[in-house]
Amino acid sequence: MSRRTERYLGVYFRLLALSACLEQRAGQSLLSAYLSLVLGDGLYQVYRYSQNSWQMNDFRLEHRMQLKSYVKIIDAMNVAYLLTHLLMVSLALLWRHKERRLLAQLPALTERTRPLINTNLHLVMECLVSGSAVMLCVLQANTYGLLLSNLRYIYCTQAVRARYLQMALLVERLDAQLLQLQQQLAAANEQQQQQRCWRQLRCKYAHIVKVSRQLSQLYGPALLWMNALCIGDFIVVCYVIIVLRELTEIDFSWLMLWQSIYVMLPTLMKIWTLCSTCNSCVRRTQRLLWQVNNASYLATARPGVVINAHLRSLCFDFTLQIMQSPLEFNICSIYQLNLQTLAGMFIFIVESLVIFLQFVALSKQTN
């Protein structure tokens, strides 16, 4: 990943009020003030909603009784996205010093490092999704109005979904440190001071595990809410495509179809990217364990070489350390970010789809 792409993504995350870290003090104060304004505006929107005076992104469909339930679901999802964004902004302000220390322990990737994800592609897709959403919002405002509320909705949804990409980039930095540890381990047998080298490798691995736990603690609560929102987005799409289409005689407009796709596809793409990145990073620790076991085998089984009992003991201790402290990305100690979790979410979505289809079939039989 180039420095320019990383700089653009950093500015993008700060504009979405997801990060409160800057090296300059003046910029840090201005950024904290900006996040405070975003937090204050969000709290004001929650207050207006509690007073039943907040106009949602409902495309002026509340006058149609058939879509009353759809409007309520969209209303609930908008509030959920707003509350999740407020949670992220609050944590960014409260934990800005922790985030600064975490970023200091995760140096930026060099151009020679092979990335796990194509950051340039994700940057282009973020620009395309945001640009198309804003253009459609402006076109819709010329007909129905509600420009400001729709822009707030787009801002909240883009900010919430960008958290996946933000954490994926940090996991990619952590994976680069693991790759460096593998390279150092491969050259450990050629070092003259093997004892000191192996101790340094063990300390570095312990540091990587510690950083991964800090990363999970900082971003875990927000990711838990986001996964719940992903399931809620799917419920909205199923309600629009299956329930309303089968049980009512409604001609769906392009705006409704676009909103249904907009709330689903970007979220699925980003959660797949994050789970795949975390899974690749965890698999690298398994290859690291294989390297340590191989080094222990070579220390005892090479012909013509005196058995190095101390080196074998160091390899055994390192193996035990990796097995007792594996690299994991836990979300609030509930589940882990890997491909198994992603498969479980898809299975849950398929089961929900079956329930929706059964509900539609029973409703048709009753009618």
What is the residue whose two structure tokens read 């104060």?
29
**Rounded mean pLDDT, 95-103:** 88
Mean pLDDT is lowest, of 40-49, 85-94, 289-298, for 289-298
Residues 6+ apart with CB under 8 A from 103: 21, 170
Cα separation, 209 vs 215, in Å, equals 10
Q: Which two tokens stand for residue 114?
A: 């092979």
DSSP state of 241: I
Residue 352 has pLDDT above 80, yes or no: no
Mean pLDDT is lowest, of 44-53, 212-221, 245-254, for 245-254
Do 77 and 232 form a contact (C-beta atoms < 8 A)? yes
Q: What is the pLDDT of residue 289?
A: 86
* Count of C-beta atoms within a 10 Å radius of residue 162: 22
Residue 270 has pLDDT above 70, yes or no: yes
- Indicate the pLDDT class of residue 61, thresholds 50, 70 and 90: very low
Percent of the chain exceeding pLDDT 90 equals 7
Residue 57 has pLDDT above 50, yes or no: no
Mean pLDDT is lowest, of 83-97, 112-126, 216-230, 235-249, for 235-249
Question: Under DSSP, is residue 108 helix (H, G, I), strand (E, B) or coil?
Answer: coil
Residue 191 has pLDDT above 80, yes or no: no
Cα separation, 260 vs 257, in Å, equals 5
Residues 6+ apart with CB under 8 A from 273: 117, 122, 164, 165, 168
Q: What is the pLDDT of residue 245?
A: 66
What residues make up the domain containing 202? 3-366
Q: Please state the φ and ψ torsions of residue 52, each to the nearest 5 degrees.
A: 60, 35
Specify the DSSP element, H or E, that contains 174. helix 147-186
Mean pLDDT is lowest, of 132-146, 194-208, 319-333, for 132-146
Winning range, highest mean pLDDT, from 36-40, 273-277, 286-290? 36-40
Specify the DSSP element, H or E, that contains 341. helix 339-366
Do 236 and 354 form a contact (C-beta atoms < 8 A)? no
Residues 6+ apart with CB under 8 A from 147: 137, 138, 141
* Count of C-beta atoms within a 10 Å radius of residue 266: 20
Q: Which two tokens stand for residue 64?
A: 């149609």
Do 205 and 322 form a contact (C-beta atoms < 8 A)? yes
Identify any residues that bridge with 331 across adjacent strands, giving them in sequence order: 335
Cα separation, 338 vs 287, in Å, equals 17
Residue 146 has pLDDT above 80, yes or no: no
Q: What is the pLDDT of residue 250?
A: 58
Winning range, highest mean pLDDT, from 34-48, 53-67, 97-111, 326-340? 34-48
Residue 302 has pLDDT above 60, yes or no: no
- Indicate the pLDDT class of residue 118, thresholds 50, 70 and 90: confident
Does the pTM of the predicted model rise above 0.75? yes
Q: What is the pLDDT of residue 114?
A: 65
Q: What is the pLDDT of residue 58?
A: 45
Query: In the chain, how many domains are there?
Result: 1
More confident residue, 14 or 142: 14
More confident residue, 31 or 141: 31
Question: Under DSSP, is residue 298 helix (H, G, I), strand (E, B) or coil?
Answer: helix
DSSP state of 332: T
Q: What is the pLDDT of residue 209?
A: 92
Residue 59 has pLDDT above 60, yes or no: no
Identify any residues that bridge with 336 across adjacent strands, giving them in sequence order: 330
Q: What is the mean pLDDT of the chain?
A: 78
Q: What is the pLDDT of residue 234?
A: 76
End-to-end CA distance of the chain: 58
Cα separation, 53 vs 51, in Å, equals 5
Residues 6+ apart with CB under 8 A from 278: 171, 329, 336, 337, 338
